[in-house]
Amino acid sequence: MVIAGAAVVVWLVARGELAGADARAYWGAVRVWIDGGDPMAPPPPYMPYVYFPWTLPIFAPWAVLPWDVAWFVWRAVNVVLLAWSAAWAWQRHPLATALLLAILAAPIATTLDTGNITLFAALAVWAAHFTGPRLGGFLWALASVLKWFPAPLWLILPPRTRRWGLAWVSLALLLSLATWPRTLEQIQLAISYPRPFRGDYLLLLWAAVPWAWSHPRWFRREEWPALRAEARERIAGAARALRQAPDEPSGARRARIVAWGRAFLGLEPRAGG
């Protein structure tokens, strides 16, 4: 892990002033927007802002800082949050944490080099496991709106957090419809904008660490045969539950599926029925 970290530092030092293109795009987009310009077609040297138009105010408190200060703050917050999450993971599974961080050294270096929000999005989903359902759902929804890759992680969030995540995504859809002409322009720009291979999306693995690390049996080799048997049984049980018996009323099967969905979203039955 130390070798991987040293490689990241050497890369960032070597890049020097060439770094920060994506973060500068967010910073410049807010400033162009405040000045009455079009953040999706900014003047050089800024790249276009390719996220939903209504998300611009999210960057505004940070973008009021001078660029040199804003870039330092952006990187520093990334490093501090990553170190905090790594310390949490290390205390539970040191070897697995070290190996995963070594594997993710290149994506982490890329994110810290360009200033892309990918690492922030991964850490937002990480924090969603600890902040409570309402804020956790908001963090997942915001990360998924800005970057699509956290969206599948909805499946591994706590049940009530999943429910709040759907509520916040519904609000995001309303905001997108309210700004529809600009939203359509943004979607077309995001699809047509040329991008290199996005290896930084591997940070999806880091976003799933709180969920994976909460299953200590997965890290004990002697448990693996039993885990495989349990997984096969669960899959078979789910298939049996979804398969309707010839003599079973359709309403009973529908009620069973609804009950599973309610449990998945943390909708507990009310007292008294």
User: In Å, what is the CA distance from 165 to each residue of 57, 103, 120, 125, 156?
Assistant: 21, 29, 17, 11, 12
Angle between helices 94-103 and 105-114 (to 10 degrees): 60
pLDDT in tens, the chain (273 residues): 888 888 888 888 887 766 788 999 999 999 999 999 889 888 888 888 989 999 999 999 999 999 999 999 999 999 999 999 999 999 999 999 999 999 999 899 989 888 999 999 999 999 999 999 999 999 999 999 998 889 999 999 999 999 999 999 999 999 999 998 888 888 888 777 776 667 788 998 999 999 999 988 888 889 989 999 998 988 887 777 667 556 667 677 677 777 777 777 777 655 444
Cα–Cα distance, 74 to 84 (Å, whole number): 16
Of the candidates 159, 162, 170, which has an alpha carbon nearest to the alpha carbon of residue 140? 162
Spans of all domains in the chain: 2-217, 220-264
Q: Under 8 Å CB-to-CB from 24, ≥6 apart: which residues?
A: 45, 46, 47, 67, 71, 115
